[in-house]
Structure 1
Amino acid sequence: MPNATESAPAARSERIPTTLRLLTLLEEIVRLGRPVKPSDLSGTTDLPKPTLHRLFQTLEAEGYLQREPDGRSYSVGRRAREMAVATLSTQRVRTARLAIMRALAKDVGETCNFAIPDRESMVYLDRVETDWPLRVQFSVGTHVPLHCTAAGKLYLATLSDVRLDSYLRNANLDAKTPHTLTTPDALRAEIEKVRAQGFAVDNEEFLEGVIAFAVPLRDKNGRMPATIAFQGPTQRLSIEAGYTHLPRLKRAAEELSALL
């Protein structure tokens, strides 16, 4: 029978309001940034295992967590992702972000995109269009593929080797243009290049006649919650010219990361 000292942490944790326990649990899962089992948190939350299982089930039922294919692990669910997007879109944060993006677009002379990963694609959370009449127009909220966009390839570069291999085995690497990388080996080699250099290039892989450069934003844990990119038509922006804008793009990424 446990003594009073042994049962004290569990007793204290059980006195925490259920709502706060749910938020604390979700915060820890997001901090870890990977699928977790209830048992993975038993040593960091002071919650009894039955309570952990019950809280996980509650978060799953409400859409804040979703169960992984193994049936035992959980990852962030739809409602938690929507909350993250809404947080990044709050007016004060967005005002500062758009100011940075407008300065970048002015200096580079091309459209700038702020994108975040959303399951099997990247979604544009913000865009600042160039003043040139010749431009590629996408609306905020547009989803773009992972395998043929600069932002998407940056996200793929953050995956573990196991998850990247799974993606390459199962994803539909359909050709958007004659330049799209459509084989697992070719895309894997490209991802390794992205990992090594710290930025990604879309060389007419998503839209023929359009190139893009993207760099990651980093949070305090070193993870990539979003990307910043510029894109333009090849009639006006060459690959060689794009490389000259990389220092300015990286500076914008540092400023945007400071807002996270």
Structure 2
Amino acid sequence: MTGEPPSDLIRSVSRALRVLEEVARADRPLPVKVIARRCGLNLSTSYHLVRTLCYEGYLHRRPDGDYLLGSQVAERYHEMLKAFQRPPRAATVLRHLAEASGHTAYLAQLADGRLVVVDVAEGPRSPWLEDLQAGLETAPHATALGKALLLSLPSRARRCVLTGYGLRRFTSSTPASVEDVERELSNLRPGQMVEEHGQFREEVACAGAVVPGTQWAVGISTRGLSIPRPAATRLAAAIRDLART
């Protein structure tokens, strides 16, 4: 949540979403009393909310009375990914890139100022990056995917994205200000491949570029602080392949 709440905020909806968020981030099913305490709600309100969410399929009640996410959350997740209308053959191109290079391949887009990873094809030469998974928002200022997309924006729009998201520090190398990001991008042309080295995760490097004529970026990650030349070549070929489709 960012900014001031709207004047017409429906508090019951806001409370229900807070319940879902708390259940989702918990590492085990939660009883209602714990949900109420974590959400700052009274017990009666919490019971009404979890019963309603269970009825609608967004929570599931276990036999012991604890609650976890329901199947409707997964349904909405898949519908969200479909709504992005990925480029034709995107999934095929990503899989081929991962298989040919051995590095995990990502497809991402900026949506309402947020960087959203829409598709991922895992490769054995890349580390598992839990924040770079399909359906998740991630950092535009610290990732090659984000910087490639930022590079395609006018300066004013770029600053709006960066200030709206905030510049969270992931490592000691993460850019600390909008000016830091602007300096990094100042020597690059829109559409050019962007690299980051240890800014998002220690001892991990990423490369990414925008698919010409689209608002999509494709990227790869690798263990260590350098991008192997063959992997970068494969990435460039994948981007050209998507541009042709």
TM-score range for the pair, normalised by the shorter chain length: 0.5 to 0.7
- Structural mapping, 1:175-214, within 5 Å: 175-195=169-189, 198-214=192-208
Q: Tell me whether 1:239 sits opposite 2:226 in the alignment.
A: yes
**Post-superposition CA distance 1:137-192 (Å, at most 9, x none):** 44310111111110111111112123334455665222111110112222111122
Contact kept, 8 Å, 1:116 with 1:125, in 2: the verdict is yes
Contact 2:194 2:209 (8 Å CA) reproduced = yes
User: What amino acid is the match of 1:119?
Assistant: D
Q: Is the 8 A contact 1:120 1:145 kept in 2?
A: no
* CA spacing shift, 1:149–1:133, aligned 2, 3 Å: closer
Distance 2:232 2:93 in 1: 15
| Counterpart secondary structure, 2:115 | strand
How far 1:125 moved relative to its partner? 1.1
Whether the 8 Å contact between 2:98 and 2:105 is mirrored in structure 1 is yes
The superposition leaves residues 36-94 of structure 1 with CA deviations (integer Å, 9 ceiling, x where unpaired) of xxxxxxxxxxxxxxxxxxxxxxxxxxxxxxxxxxxxxxxxxxxxxx999526259xx3x
Partner of 2:67: none
Structure in which a larger fraction of residues adopt helix: 1
Q: Pick closer, same or farther for the CA change 1:162–1:256 going to 2, 3 Å.
A: same
User: What's the counterpart of residue 102 of structure 1?
Assistant: 95
Matched residue, 1:258: 244
CA contact 1:173–1:182 (8 Å) conserved in 2: yes
Cα gap change, 1:256 to 1:196, in 2 (>3 Å): closer
1:229 aligned partner, one-letter code: G
| TM superposition shift of 1:248 | 1.8
Q: SS state of the match for residue 183, structure 2?
A: helix
8 Å Cα contact 2:81/2:135 also seen in 1: no
TM-score (norm 1): 0.56
Q: Which runs of 5+ in 2 are unaligned?
A: 1-78
Q: Does 1:149 align with 2:125?
A: no
Aligned CA-pair RMSD: 2.7
Q: Output the CA distance in 2 between the equivalents of 1:192 and 1:150.
A: 15
CA 1:127–1:193 in 2, change beyond 3 Å: closer, same or farther? same
Aligned length: 166
Pairing of 1:67-106 with structure 2 (within 5 A): 86=83, 88-89=85-86, 93=88, 96-106=89-99
> C-alpha distance in 2, partners of 1:132/1:102?
14
Matched, 1:116 2:109: yes
Counterpart of 1:52 in structure 2 is: none
Matches of 1:206 and 1:99, distance apart in 2: 27
Work out the CA distance in 2 between the residues paired with 1:129 and 1:88. Answer: 21
CA contact (8 A) 1:216 1:226 kept: yes
- Between the aligned partners of 2:154 and 2:183, the Cα distance in structure 1 is 15
Give the Cα separation in 1 of the matches to 2:163 and 2:95. 39
